[in-house]
Amino acid sequence: EGAGSVTTVVFDKTGTLTRGKPEVTDIALFNGYSEKDVLFYAASIERNSEHPLAEAVVSKAFEHNIMLKEPENFVAIPGQGIEGRIGGKNILLGNPGLMREKDVAFSAIEKNISGFAGQGKTPMILAIDKMIAGVIAVADTLKPDAAKVVNRLKIMGLEIIMITGDNKITAESVARQVGIDRVLAEVLPADKAAEIKRLQNEGKRVAMVGDGINDAVALAQSDVGIAIGSGTDVALEASDITLIGNDLAGVPKAIELSRKTVRTIRWNLFWAFIYNIIGIPIAAGILYPVFGSMGLLNPMIASGAMAFSSVFVVSNSLRLRNAKLSD
């Protein structure tokens, strides 16, 4: 019922609109560090992280047969990156926000960062002892049906929004590829629910579509939480609707089925009321003064008519089993 009244659909990016399996596409080197050096330090500091971007970096290091070290003082900073120590060196790996917070100068590489971001890639800055060593660009492939699903939802009259922790340039590049006009970028995991709440305060009925542990609170906050079946257990638990597998086509289908169901319920109520509004007075003899005995309703006919009313409502509802939903 809630899905049928939704006005706005908010998609998480990573793992929802994209496959959730990013790959390292480019590595820019600085201050004399080699590609092997950058991959060694980046993958070593990321080896204990479960983030998809971390998996991409570690996988790239393994492709180059690089032996990794166990990081010390490992700290994951939500929405910014990671810090720790490798071989006595202080390592930072993350976005520009992390570099600013740790007083690492990166103005010389801003062109590289914006260039990667403009291509829809996520730039990860590696700093060793507060010196920039490299920028690792990671890209995630869009799901093949993402653009089609977004277009279908637009045809249904829904507002579509993408929410992500990525920087604005990267986020807008990805959004353009799938046809999404409004983007909420650089949103920390803890702030996603607040963004959903803000949309609700604007009078919108919000459906949130996500798959990760970072989406759980936002899924719970939304009017209708829709979890991708391949997502985390926490996300599945927090959602109202779980899509089987990894298919986004279930989002418009769920909303369309909800609309058809509510429409059927309303029709059933309408016909049930009309049927009784007409039938009960006739059974009570309201037509007798005009038509005499011809205006009386035989009890057998009345009971049969009542049974037919119930059969009509049930049959009308059963039509939903064969309802045609758009692909």
What are the residue numbers of the active site? 12
Structure tokens at 229: 């079946």
Pairing of strands 81-86, 89-94: antiparallel
Alpha-carbon distance of 39 to 126, in angstroms, equals 10
What are 60-67's contacts with CB under 8 Å, separation 24+? 60/23, 60/24, 64/35, 64/36, 64/39, 66/36, 66/39, 66/40
Alpha-carbon distance of 41 to 45, in angstroms, equals 6
Using alpha carbons, select from 304, 299, 268, 269 the residue that is nearest to residue 282: 299
**Positions of E strands within the chain:** 8-12, 23-29, 72-77, 81-86, 89-94, 122-128, 131-139, 159-163, 182-184, 206-210, 224-228, 241-243
Beta-carbon contacts of residue 217 (< 8 Å; ≥ 6 apart): 190, 192, 193, 238
Residue given tokens 């092997």 in the structure block: 36
Structure tokens at 36: 């092997």
SS3 call for 152: helix
SS3 call for 299: helix
Structure tokens at 209: 């579509």
Query: Amino acid letter at 75?
Result: V
DSSP conformational letter for 165? S
